[in-house]
Amino acid sequence: MEFGRLDEIRDDLTALYKDLHAHPELSFQEHRTAAEVARRLEALGLEVTSGVGRTGVVGVLRNGSGPTVLLRADFDGLPVQEQTGLEYASTQRATSSDGSDVPVMHACGHDMHVTCLLGALDLLSDSRSSWSGTVVAVFQPAEEFGTGAQAMLDDGFLERFPRPDVCLGQHVFPFESGFVGMMSGPSMSAADSLKITMFGRGGHGSQPQNTVDPVVMASATVLRLQTVVSREVAGDDTAVLTVGSIRAGTKENIIPDQAELLVNIRSFDERVRERVLAAVHRIVRAEAVASGAEREPEFEQLTRFPLLVNDPEAASRTSSALRATFGDHVVDLPPAMASEDVGLFGTAAGVPTCYWFFGGTDSARFQEAVAADNVARAIPANHSPHFAPEVEPTLTTGVKALTSAAIEWLGTRG
C-alpha cells in the first residue's frame, strides 16, 4: 500500500482533529460531530446514513465484488474538565444524562479515532484500483456508556448495511507514538457499573442515637468491598473492583436518610464476574443489616461492557499486515483492564473481531518515563484531564494502521 496521498491530506486531517478536540460532545449528544462526519463521507463519495442508533453515522464504500470489512471509530467525549493547556483545548459544557451541567473533553482519544478513520477512507477511496470489496465505516456514539454499539445493532444495523466478514478497530493509548500494539484472545475486560443506594434514617447530627446513619453504613461497605478481590478471587484470576463515587448528605449537622455508591467491576472470566457481583450484593445487604437499616439496599445496573476477544487467527493476519507497514514498531501487548463495546458488532454478525492500540505519547518523553520507571505517573492516561495525544506521528500511524488492515482483508484487483 502506498501512502503518498496521506501527505496531501495530513494538514486537513490535523485541522479536523483539533476542531473535534475543541468541540467534544457527550454520549448520544454527538450532533455536531456526526454532521461533520457525514459531510466528509459524502464528499468522499460514500453512501451515508445518519441517525443510526440515535446519533451514529454509517458510510458504505462499494468497489466491486469481494469481502466486506467493517471499520469502526467511536466519537463521544467525557464529562471531564480539560487541563492540557493546549491552544485547542475544550471549553465546552453540556447537560449530562442526569441533568447536571458538566465540562466536556475528548479525554479518551475518540477525536483521534474519528480523524484516523476519515483519513483511511480517503486513502481507500483514492486507491480503488488496488482492491475490491466493500468497506462499511461505522462512526459509533456512546461508547463511554457501553450502549452505542448495541443501539446501532438494535436500529437494524445488520439488516440495513452490508454484512461484514470481519470487524476492525483501534484505540489510541498512552504508549510511544509511532508504535502499534496487538493482543490475541481475551483483550479487554468485561465491565459492570452499579449504582447502589443504601437507606438509613435521618436526623439531627447531635442525636445520632435516634438515626440509622447511612454515611457510616456506606463507609463500612466501601472498606469491606475492598476485600472481595483480595479474599474471594483466586490469585490466578483477574478482577478489579472500584468504588468511584460516594454521595450522601447536604450539611455537616444533618444525618441524611440515604447514601449512594457507584461501583465498577472488571473481569476476564464470566465465572469470576458472577462471583464478584454476588459478593458485592451480599456485602452491601449484610452491612445494611448490621447497621440496623429498615429498608433493603437498591441496586441499579448502569452499564455493562462485554469481554472483548480478538479472534486469534484474525489477530495474526492483521498483525502481519501491520508489521509489513510498521516493521518492529508493532509490539505484543498484554490484556487491558479497560473495556470496549466494539466486539458486539462481530458477535452479532458471527464474524471475527480484531482491535489494536496505537501510541500517542511523544517518544522522548515516554522513553524518559520508562528509564525512570515512572510511566504510570509521568504519562497521562485515557480519561485523565491531562490526556492529549501527540498529533504527529500519532495521526499518521492511526491512518496507516487502519488502511493497512483494511487492505489485508479486502480483495485484490488484477
Q: Is 383 annotated as a binding residue?
A: yes
Catalytic residue among 143, 176, 311, 341: 143
Residue 76 annotated as catalytic:
yes
Q: Say whether both 80 and 150 belong to one domain.
A: yes
Mean pLDDT of the chain: 97
Q: Are residues 18 and 107 in the same domain?
A: yes
Could you give the number of structural domains in the chain?
A: 2
Same domain assignment for residues 223 and 296? yes
Strands (E), 215-368: 239-248, 254-255, 258-267, 298-305, 308-310, 330-332, 353-361
Residue finishing a domain among 241, 276, 304: 304
Q: Are residues 263 and 237 in the same domain?
A: yes
Domain that holds residue 195: 190-304
Among 76, 111, 176, 408, the one annotated catalytic: 76
Whether residues 30 and 165 share a domain: the answer is yes
Point out the domain boundary residue: 284, 304, 324. 304
* Residues 280, 363: Cα–Cα separation, whole Å: 42
Task: Look at residues 286, 304, 322 and tell me which one is the last residue of a structural domain.
Answer: 304
Do 211 and 262 share a domain, yes or no? yes
Based on its alpha-carbon atoms, the radius of gyration of the chain, rounded to whole angstroms, reads: 23
Nearest Cα to 80, choosing from 62, 64, 96?
96
List 50's β-bridge partners, or say none. 57
Are 311 and 174 found together in one domain?
Answer: yes
Clarify whether 143 is annotated catalytic: yes
Indicate the SS3 state at residue 14: helix
Each residue's pLDDT tens digit, 135-154: 999 999 999 999 999 999 99
Select from 264, 278, 272, 261 the least CA-distant residue to 221. Answer: 261
Cα distance between residue 219 and residue 21, in whole Å = 38
Residue 34 near residue 56 (C-beta atoms within 8 A)? yes
Same domain for 103 and 28: yes
Flag whether pLDDT at 89 surpasses 80: yes
Q: pLDDT digits over 28-62, tens only?
A: 999 999 999 999 999 999 999 999 999 999 999 99
- pTM assigned to the model: 0.94
171 is in an annotated binding site: yes
pLDDT tens, position by position, 295-328: 999 999 999 999 999 999 999 999 999 999 999 9
Please tell me whether residues 292 and 398 are part of one structural domain: no
